[in-house]
Chains A and B, each alone.
Chain A
Amino acid sequence: MEISDENFRVWAEKNEVYFDGVFRLAGPDAYAPIYSLITGLLHEGHKQVTFDLTGLEFLNSSGINLLAKLTIEARKMGDLLLIVKGTHQHPWQAKSLPNLKKLHPLLELRLA
């Protein structure tokens, strides 16, 4: 399952979601398909789900809003371990990803 345009690509492999490229989508409506793809995966009954953001160069605030909502969704599920993989190579990640940890303290944030 994959959603992509010329600048970005999101795809799921088993219990891992990969984000790649530059996300400058206009707003929640634009992010809706991605949101439904990932919430679907969250509800598949995996013990843990990983968001791999290491290939995500840029994410606008609507995108961060999406990640926050997904984090809250995972938080609601209780026994699901959410792992978020980020990288210091892209400054926005170091700035915004800790917010996800605030929203969902059990979230495992791996900033490499």
Chain B
Amino acid sequence: MMDGWSSKRPVGLSSFRAKFILVVGGAVLFDLLVSGGLALWNVQRLSRDATLEVGQGLEAASQEYIRTYADSTAAQVNLLLRQVHNDVDTLAGVLQAQIDNPVRNSDVGAAIARTSPDSVSLSYDEKGKWSQNAPGSASVVSVWGYLLGEDHQPKPEIRRDIETSAVLDLVAPSLLQHGASKLQMYYIGPRERPIFRTAPYTDQAQTFDRLYPGHNEADFWNFFFPGLYESWQGWARDMKTRPVADDITQTAPYTDAITGKLIVSFFHPLWTADRKDVAGTAGADITLDQLAQTVENVKVAQSGFGFLAMSDGNVVAINGTGEQTLGLRSASGASGTGVTGLERSLKGSAQPAIAKLALDREQGIQHLLLQRDGNEVPYIVIVKKLPATNLWSSGPVRQEAMLLGVVVPEREIDASLYAAQAKISEATNRIVIYQILAILMSLLIVTIAVFAASKRITSGISALAGAAKRIQAQDYSVRVAITSKDEVGAAGEAFNRMAEQISYHTENLEQLVEERTAQIADQKEEISALNAQLQRENRRLGTEVAVAERIQLMVLPLQQELEEFQDIEIAAYMRPAEEVGGDYYDVLKNGRRLKIGIGDVTGHGLESGVLMLMVQSVARALQEAGNTDAVKFLADLNSALFKNIVRTKIDKHLTLAFLDYDGREMILSGQHEEVVIVRANGEIQRVDTMDLGIPIGLDADISAFIKTREITFEKGDLILLHTDGVTEAANDSGEMFGIERLCSEALRLKGQSAEKVVSGIVATLMHFIGSQKIYDDITLLAVRHR
């Protein structure tokens, strides 16, 4: 038997195990994905937080570092400046002490003149029209043309100053050797005798001539430092007017007339002994390089740099890279007044961010975007103000606080941050990969576990299914070994018990059959008893039916009775139903008169037969009594029957019709089925008998309802009488034979003898009925005029 169930173990998607694996695996997978996803999310978040945290920490640290660096650089610059200030202060202190002590001043001057004549012996220069001592001395002293007499010799008061200023030779070389590295130290006399003594010796005046043509004739202070001297004179009158409470006055960077280098000068004005006026100045120059070195030594990360700028943004110290980075453009001072300054301002920077940089106040760390190779690169800039100082830069002395800037590409500062972030990111990725691997591993393990567990869990069910199939194949020896203590185990036990029972029943079939046979034998006794009872009943019924049938057939006219007429032929057919109905037909002959009757008693069985027998007897009696009136005949017959029905309590009646024929007329009376007449010319005539009477046995007197009808009956005519057994006979599909079929059959057979007509119609009818049960008696009678 094929039931679409493969004989192999089911491993398809529809198998229980597959479903189990799908459900459990799906749940676990979901769980893993959720937990794994959460873990991953957490790791990512942790990484993000860590990155942020580290980033913030590092940024803070970096900024702190830069700030500190800037502070320390500022301190260094400041230290350098302070050292220079100290050296200038020392020199100025010595010179001021000499001024304050004129006697000693003269003595010291005279002494030096004696010991170091080179320092005070000047020779006139024809070309330059100035006077200057010869090389070899510790210092050079230049005396401008307008300070010389007509003999080209310095004027007496100048002469004295040349000697007294030689004290510089004692102090300056030592100061130059020690302390801050300086280019030179010098003394410049007051406005009325501005001799210029400088240590160490250089071709001072010659350089002036080259760089500052026309200086020799001009007033020294006005020519070189316009406004400076007047500022100092203001200070002499009121020290409070000093922009910064310090005598040191610094110049903006300018090209040194002596060395031709860019320098910054630090002046310390000298005062007259009464402190009412200016008595010249002590000074020291440092090259911008020296100042810049400190700043330029700034090295933050790879390409960080420092710069030093004046408060107006003019950068005085910066390295080449820095200059390029800040987009500075140098322009030599074109003011035409005083020393030539250096114009290299932040404000003129090609970098908009730098040009806009606020210089008037400290702003701490600033983040700027600087253009580099067409890209915007972020930089960190910190600008510190150095301690304020007095500054001259053409015009009156004003307060100046130089600016120290430190500039670092943010990328480099953040390099460590990036490195940390990269480390964290790397760690995160590693964790993520491990996590994913862990999930995959878990999934693999779970899958294997589920697979194994499913095998264990479902093996019971599979075993059950397999065993059930073996049972199906009639192998009753099969047992399942399911050890689990669950429902499957219980099912297995139940299955085994069932299999045992099946096996037992199968193997003990014979015994069982015997047992059953014994049981059946017992039951058979009972059945036999009942059967006997039934048989007796049946016999009684059967006897009754048999009797009824005998009665029915017994009273029918004999064949020879039907054949003894000259001008008409009569043929009749009657077939009792299985239960024997109460059809009646008769042919009564009395002399010339012929009475053909047809009727149908209601119901079946013996009583119907008896009633029919009575009808026959009464009809015969009435015929014999010479009753020729058809109406009276029927009324009397009914009367007799009715009384007998009342007496016998046979609760039945019958339809009954008669044809009376006296050789000429054919008279029809009584209510029965339609009479069919087939004329010789083929015409069919159906005569309804409903109005010709009423069923016999319903009422005591029916004379009022009986009517007669004369029927033309000529040569070749055929009269057919039938009971409803003919027309109501049904075929397999419940269709009735019907009066139309009867008529057409009669027409088909009209030329034939009455016998042939009857047998032909009966054959057709029987063929029509087929295997259907015959419920009612079938009676057909044909009367044919010869």
Contact = CB atoms under 8 A, between A and B. Distances in A.
Interface in A72-86: 72
Interface in B377-414: none
B736 to A, nearest CB: 10
A33 interface: no
A27 interface: yes
Interface residues of B, number: 17
Nearest to A68: B698
A45 interface: no
Interface in B674-710: 690, 694-695, 698-699, 704-705
A62 B602 contact: yes
Contacts of A26: 603-604
A68 B700 CA distance: 13
Contacts of B605: 27
Interface string B744-772: 00000000000000000000000000000
B694 A102 contact: yes
A103 interface: yes
For chain A, which range describes its interface: under 10, 10 to 19, 20 to 34, or 35 or more residues?
A: 10 to 19
A64 interface: yes
A94 B591 CA distance: 39
Given A28-B603, A61-B603, A62-B603, A68 B695 contact: yes
B673 to A, nearest CB: 9
A109 to B, nearest CB: 13
Contacts of A60: 602
B222 to A, nearest CB: 149
A65 B653 contact: yes
Contacts of A62: 602-603, 652
Nearest to A58: B728
B105 interface: no
A99 B602 contact: no
A92 to B, nearest CB: 10
B423 to A, nearest CB: 95
A99 B600 CA distance: 16
B192 interface: no
Interface string B651-676: 11101000000000000000100000
11 contacts: A26-B604, A27-B651, A28-B603, A61-B653, A65-B651, A68-B695, A68-B698, A72-B698, A99-B671, A99-B690, A99-B698
B740 to A, nearest CB: 12
B651 A28 contact: yes
A28 B652 contact: yes
Contact of A65 (B604, B652, B671, B690): B652
B603 A99 contact: no
Contacts of B651: 27-28, 65, 69
If over half of B's interface residues share one DSSP class (helix, strand or loop), that class is named, otherwise mixed; here it is loop
Given A61-B653, A72-B698, A99-B695, 15 more contacts: A27-B602, A27-B604, A27-B605, A27-B651, A27-B652, A28-B603, A61-B655, A62-B603, A65-B653, A65-B698, A69-B698, A99-B698, A102-B704, A102-B705, A103-B694
If over half of A's interface residues share one DSSP class (helix, strand or loop), that class is named, otherwise mixed; here it is helix
A60 B602 CA distance: 8
Given A28-B652, A68-B653, A68-B698, A61 B690 contact: no
Interface string A100-111: 001100000000
Interface of B: 600, 602-605, 651-653, 655, 671, 690, 694-695, 698-699, 704-705
Interface in A14-59: 26-28
Nearest to B581: A61
A61 B699 contact: no
B694 A99 contact: yes
Nearest to B700: A72
B677 to A, nearest CB: 19
B335 to A, nearest CB: 136
A108 to B, nearest CB: 19
A95 B694 contact: no
Contacts of A68: 653, 695, 698
Contacts of B704: 102
A61 B694 contact: no
B602 A61 contact: yes
A66 to B, nearest CB: 9
B699 A72 contact: yes
A103 B603 CA distance: 21
A16 B179 CA distance: 149
By CB atoms of chain B within 10 A, which of A28, A60, A72, A102 has the most? A102
B652 A103 contact: no
Contacts of A61: 600, 602-603, 653, 655
B533 to A, nearest CB: 21
Nearest to A98: B690
Contacts of A99: 671, 690, 694-695, 698
Contacts of B699: 72, 103
A60 B694 CA distance: 16
Nearest to A31: B651
A70 B384 CA distance: 137
A28 B699 CA distance: 17
A62 B655 CA distance: 12
Task: List the 4 closest A-B pairs by CB distance, nearest first.
Answer: A28-B651, A61-B602, A27-B603, A68-B698
Contacts of A28: 603, 651-652
A72 B690 CA distance: 19
Contact of B602 (A64, A98, A102): A64
A68 B604 CA distance: 18
B210 to A, nearest CB: 148
Nearest to B603: A27
